[in-house]
A and B are shown apart, each in its own frame.
Chain A
Amino acid sequence: MTESATTTTTHLMTINMGPQHPSTHGVLRLLLELDGEMITKAVPHVGFLHRGVEKLAEYRTYHQCIPLTDRLDYVAPFSNNLAYALTVEKLLGIEIPERAQHIRVLLCELTRITSHLLWLATHALDIGAMTVFFYCFREREAIYDIFELVSGARMHLSYIRVGGVARDIPGGFLEKIRTFVSEFPSRINEYETLLTDNPIWKKRTVGVGIISAEDAIDFGLSGPSLRGSGVNWDIRKSEPYSGYDKYNFAVPLGKNGDVYDRYRVRIEEMHQSNRIVHQALNILPKGDCIASIPNVTLPSKEDVETKMESMISHFKLITDGIHPPKGEVYTSIEAPKGELGFYLVSDGSSRPYRLKIRPPSFVNLEALPKMVEGRLLSDVVATIGSLDIVLGEIDR
Chain B
Amino acid sequence: MDNEAIATCVKTRFPEEIGDARIFRNELTLMVKKEYVADVARFLKENKELEFDFLSDLCGVDRIATDDVFEVVYHFYSIQKNHRVRIKALVPAIEPSIPTVTDVWKTANWHERETYDMFGIMFVGHPDLRKILTPDDFEGHPLRKDYPLDGRQPAKLRDIYRKGEA
Residues of A within 8 A of B (CB): 46-47, 50, 52, 54-56, 59, 90-91, 93, 215, 217-220, 231, 233, 238-239, 327-330, 332, 339, 341, 343, 345, 353-354, 356, 358, 362-363, 366, 395-396
Contact = CB atoms under 8 A, between A and B. Distances in A.
B42 to A, nearest CB: 13
Given A59-B149, A330-B75, A366-B107, A47 B134 contact: yes
Nearest to B151: A52
Given A220-B56, A327-B25, A328-B86, 5 more contacts: A52-B142, A217-B53, A343-B59, A358-B75, A363-B111
Interface in B117-166: 118, 131-135, 142-143, 147, 149
Contacts of A220: 54-56, 105-107
B25 A91 contact: yes
A233 B79 contact: yes
B107 A218 contact: yes
A231 B79 contact: yes
B29 interface: yes
Most buried by B among A47, A219, A358: A47
Interface in B21-35: 24-25, 27, 29
A218 B105 contact: yes
Nearest to A45: B132
Contacts of B142: 52, 55
B110 A354 contact: no
Given A52-B142, A366-B110, A328 B24 contact: yes
A238 B132 CA distance: 32
Given A59-B149, A217-B79, A218-B105, A93 B56 contact: no
Interface in B65-115: 73, 75, 79, 82, 84, 86, 105-107, 109-111
22 contacts: A46-B132, A47-B132, A54-B118, A54-B143, A55-B143, A55-B149, A218-B106, A219-B107, A220-B106, A327-B24, A329-B25, A329-B27, A330-B57, A330-B84, A341-B57, A341-B75, A343-B73, A345-B61, A362-B110, A366-B109, A366-B110, A395-B133
5 closest A-B pairs by beta carbon, nearest first, are A220-B107, A47-B133, A358-B57, A356-B59, A50-B133
Contacts of A395: 133
A362 to B, nearest CB: 7
A90 B24 CA distance: 10
A101 to B, nearest CB: 18
Contacts of B17: none
A10 B162 CA distance: 45
Contacts, number: 85
Contact of B82 (A47, A238, A356, A358): A238
A54 B62 CA distance: 13
Interface residues of B, number: 34
Contacts of A217: 53-54, 79
A107 to B, nearest CB: 25
B135 A343 contact: no
A53 to B, nearest CB: 11
Given A330-B27, A330-B75, A345-B61, A339 B149 contact: no
A52 B78 CA distance: 30
A327 B79 CA distance: 26
A356 to B, nearest CB: 4
B136 to A, nearest CB: 10
B107 A363 contact: yes
A343 B134 contact: no
A218 B104 CA distance: 8
A233 B80 CA distance: 9
Nearest to A363: B107
A91 B26 CA distance: 11
Contacts of B84: 330
A46 B135 CA distance: 10
Nearest to A91: B25
B25 A93 contact: yes
Contacts of B105: 218, 220
Contacts of A341: 56-57, 75
A343 B57 contact: yes
A93 B27 CA distance: 13
Contact of B75 (A47, A327, A343): A343
Contacts of A47: 131-135
B59 A46 contact: no
B55 to A, nearest CB: 6
Contacts of A345: 61
Contact of A332 (B29, B56, B73): B56
Contacts of B59: 343, 356
B118 to A, nearest CB: 8
Contact of A329 (B24, B56, B109, B135): B24
